[in-house]
Amino acid sequence: MSVNILAIESSCDDTSCAVISDGFLLSNVIASQKVHEAYGGVVPELASRAHQQNIIPVVHEALRQSGLSKEDLSAIAFTRGPGLMGSLLVGTSFAKGFSLALGKPLVDVNHLQGHVMAHFIQVKGEESNLPNFPFLCLLVSGGNSQIILVKSYKDMEVLGQTIDDAAGEAFDKCAKVMGLPYPGGPVIDRLAKEGNPKAFALNKPQVPGYDYSFSGLKTSFLYLLRDELKVNPNFVEERKCDLCASLQYTVVEILMAKLRKAVKDLGIKEVAVAGGVSANSALRAAFEDHGRRYGWKIHIPKFSYTTDNAAMVAIAAYFKYQDGDFCDISLPPFSRVTI
Ligand code: KG4
């Protein structure tokens, strides 16, 4: 009999539902929330309200596209955390109610592990390039920047992480001071293509071990703008592409330097990238370049699995299901949980 899992992701501002059958993805529906654009960042209360509006249509559509019915499902999975509490509560409560009504087991998934597990999503008829254990994963999103040693589907060790801002946060905050829309990462990526990455020298942090820091870079970017705007009020407008290219170049340099150190120290040459910032074209190019130059076996996810999505939750839940690793209906969501 097939193992069919319906998974829900609602940790931030994307409401998503996916259905997976025997490890193969059948559907992955994502409703993004445009309501935050006007505020330059995610407003938690608006996010949870939008999740409430989106969740039933999104689940309906994911089931419809999968071709399965509710009765065919083997389990219901949900993102337990980390994330925004109000957002997590919507997905968690829905998943619990659905599992109770159907009499099917419930599987909780750590959002960060989900991002790593995105590399194991398979679609029938599509070629897949699954990583072998152990491998290193650079997880870079709006809330996290971590180097993870992935020993198995469920055994993951965080080797280093940001001590302040995440890489995506640095992109978003620098975009905001340039007057660019939210989220700034994709806009910076686009504008950087027309700019000179060496135009401005920005601050690179000196942090020990495998940890990251992006707050100094953000401050040096802010001071550069402040000083140059005193001389030329049109500075940002005139040099926007160079500013974006220099910022992106510096973020990628910082990320790759620590990753190279981890690869060298651990002698593990199989390296993956995950999370929203893994959509960045310069970071993808740096991975490919490192693959060629240093013989790394690299794993870059499809664009649709980089940002928050339920397909990654479904595949993580599929492996937990096989271990009989279910959770109780009383399990609460957590805004801060580590791998
Ligand atoms: O993983 P994600 O969807 O959400 C969480 O933080 O969990 O990541 C969102 C982050 C945002 O900071 C966004 O600006 C960034 O990913 N991002 C990018 C790109 N696409 C998304 N950053 C740089 N370049 C991109 N192309």
> What distance in Å separates the CA atoms of residue 329 and residue 190, rounded to the nearest whole number?
44
pLDDT of amino acid 175: 96
Cα(25) to centroid of ligand 1, in Å? 23
Cα(100) to centroid of ligand 1, in Å? 34
pLDDT of amino acid 37: 83
Kindly state if the Cβ of 308 falls inside 6 Å of ligand 1.
yes
> What distance in Å separates the CA atoms of residue 62 and residue 229, rounded to the nearest whole number?
49
- Ligand 1 site-directed mutation target among 110, 273, 277, most atoms within 8 Å of CB: 277
Say what angle helices 184-192 and 167-177 make with each other, to 10 degrees: 80
Kindly state if the Cβ of 146 falls inside 6 Å of ligand 1.
no
Per-residue pLDDT of the chain (339 residues; tens, 9 = 90+): 899 999 999 999 999 999 999 999 999 999 998 888 888 788 999 999 999 999 999 999 999 999 999 999 999 999 999 999 999 999 999 999 999 999 999 999 999 999 999 999 999 999 988 999 999 999 999 888 999 999 999 899 999 999 999 999 999 999 999 999 989 999 999 999 999 999 999 989 889 999 999 999 999 999 999 999 999 999 999 999 999 999 999 999 999 999 999 999 999 999 999 999 999 999 999 999 999 999 999 999 999 999 899 999 999 999 999 999 999 999 999 998 888
pLDDT of amino acid 337: 80
CA-CA-CA-CA dihedral for 37, 40, 45, 46, to nearest 10: -10
pLDDT of amino acid 85: 97
Kindly state if the Cβ of 87 falls inside 6 Å of ligand 1.
no
Cβ neighbourhood burial of 15 (10 Å; 0-12, 13-18, 19+): buried
Nearest of 121, 116, 160 to residue 271 by alpha carbon: 116
pLDDT of amino acid 39: 85
Cα(98) to centroid of ligand 1, in Å? 30
Cα(248) to centroid of ligand 1, in Å? 13
CB 240 within 8 A of CB 224: no
pLDDT of amino acid 38: 84
Ligand 1 nearest-atom number relative to CA 306: 1
